[in-house]
Structure 1
Amino acid sequence: MLRRFIVSAALAASALAVPAAVAPASATVVSAPTAVSMAACTYQRVGQHWNCITPGAFCPKAARGKSGYAKVTSKRYRCTWKSADPYWRWRRA
């Protein structure tokens, strides 16, 4: 997860450092879909599961007991409550 963030930050920085007139068209095309796909992921309910959740974050009331998939790793999480932490949160399923 950290590696993906560092690589995407390096790509974004390199795209800003090189003028658009000098940069080849393929370099611009490669970095654009990555930024769009990350921005396009929104927290949403799809049927009986949720998409684009953030692990450890609080769950909405409608998600209690339901499963969801993380926006970065696509791993499955479940909205659960624990007595030690009395809040509904997205925890690893």
Structure 2
Amino acid sequence: MLRRLLVTAALAGSVLAVPVATALPASAAVPSSVAAHACTYQRDGNVWRCITPGAFCPKAARDRYGYAKATNRRYKCLDKNDDPYWRWRRA
């Protein structure tokens, strides 16, 4: 019984252990091509930036324009008769 309790405690302790984060050297900077694709979905006035084409759009973005994060093409948040969901569609 005591042995089982000790084994269980050891297993639980190993699960709770937090890995130590290591710092990257200063020379390991993110390339600009990767940084361009790492933008965040955000509102910029009436325009939305870094959207994903075909994805659902928030209620605040309905009938507004947005620009794709990879291609920088313009899309509009629309719904269609056959698809009742609001999505980013090519404008």
What is the TM-score when the length of structure 1 is the normalising length? 0.64
Q: CA deviation at 1:37?
A: 2.3
> 3-state DSSP class of the match of 1:51?
strand
> 3-state DSSP class of the match of 1:59?
coil
Paired letter, 1:57: A
Please give the root-mean-square deviation of Cα atoms over the aligned residues, in Å.
1.8
Q: CA deviation at 1:36?
A: 2.1
* Higher CA-based Rg: 2
> 3-state DSSP class of the match of 1:91?
strand
Summarize the alignment of residues 1-93 of structure 1 with structure 2, pairs less than 5 Å apart: 32-39=31-38, 41-93=39-91
Identity of aligned residues (%): 60
Bigger share in helix: 1
In structure 1, distance between residues paired with 2:74 and 2:85: 19
Paired letter, 2:69: K
Number of matched residues?
A: 65
